[in-house]
């Protein structure tokens, strides 16, 4: 599991970004995107969601509120070294970033990628598991390319973590939660996502109160956009948005 150790890419423009992975995975999932953002000068910190990156048993006692507290801790640590810090992530990582921005006025910007406001009912995350079932077995074998290298997860996943994600989604869907977000927000949502319902991105975009917001909706990029071939299109949309605020292309 050392692949999922939290890591840091030192930047050159004095601006920080905290990136959070998706549920059941680890920060290695964000390495491809983190490296590319580092090439543009950003200091990037890849962090693990609370309960992740250690042992599966940790997820049996970790709540979605614990995950928000961990995200807040990671943000504060980055903010201590950089005056301007974005926070973003994939799926649950994006949901945590939005939840944090709704609670903290000092968040400088959010990068939300494949964040579910509702789950595809056919996905393994949305499935109804028997009450007595504790773990779901998902083998790592068979993955190819970047997924084989970076999509590291527990082979025995506590199904309880799916309930915590659903509770986090319910929180974001409460009235006046996303509406509290006023910082700049970049939303990326693939229309062929088989985990998050594709309309999730537009819902987030419409509900946040940010004056500076952008919605990127590729037809083909899947759920794991930062890690698969969709990351190149993602960067082509994200970089100009960042450039408007930070002048990274000048």
Q: Using one digit for the tens of pLDDT, what is the confidence trace for 69-110?
A: 999 999 999 999 999 999 999 999 999 999 999 999 999 999
- Say yes or no to pLDDT of 197 above 50: yes
Q: What integer pLDDT is reported at residue 115 of this predicted model?
A: 98
- Topology of domain 2-246, per CATH? Rossmann fold (3.40.50)
- Say yes or no to pLDDT of 143 above 90: no
Its pTM stands at: 0.94
Phi, psi for 40 (deg, rounded to 5): -90, 5
Segment 113-132 shows an average pLDDT of 96
pLDDT-derived band at 3, boundaries 50, 70, 90: low
Q: Using one digit for the tens of pLDDT, what is the confidence trace for 60-78?
A: 999 999 999 999 999 999 9
Domain ranges of the chain: 2-246
């Amino acid at each position: 599991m050392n692949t999922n150790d939290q890591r840091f890419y030192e930047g050159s423009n004095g601006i920080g970004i905290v990136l959070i992975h998706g549920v059941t995975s680890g920060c290695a999932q964000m390495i491809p995107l983190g490296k590319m953002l580092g090439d543009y000068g950003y200091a990037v910190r890849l962090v693990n969601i609370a309960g992740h990156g250690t042992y599966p048993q940790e997820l049996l006692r970790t709540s979605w509120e614990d995950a928000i507290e961990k995200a807040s801790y990671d943000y504060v640590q980055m903010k201590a070294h950089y005056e301007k810090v974005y926070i973003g992530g994939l799926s649950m990582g994006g949901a945590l970033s939005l939840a944090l921005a709704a609670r903290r006025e000092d968040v400088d910007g959010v990068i939300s990628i494949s964040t579910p406001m509702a789950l595809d009912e056919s996905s393994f995350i949305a499935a109804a598991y028997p009450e007595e079932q504790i773990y779901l077995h998902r083998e790592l074998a068979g993955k190819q390319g970047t997924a084989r290298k970076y999509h590291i997860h527990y082979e025995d996943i506590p199904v309880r973590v799916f309930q915590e994600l659903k509770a986090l989604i319910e929180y974001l869907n409460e009235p006046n939660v996303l509406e509290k977000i006023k910082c700049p927000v970049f939303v990326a949502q693939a229309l062929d996502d088989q985990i998050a319902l594709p309309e999730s991105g537009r819902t987030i975009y419409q509900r946040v109160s940010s004056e500076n917001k952008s919605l990127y909706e590729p037809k083909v990029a899947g759920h794991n956009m930062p890690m698969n071939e969709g990351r190149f299109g993602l960067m082509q949309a994200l970089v100009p948005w960042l450039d408007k605020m930070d002048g990274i292309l000048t």
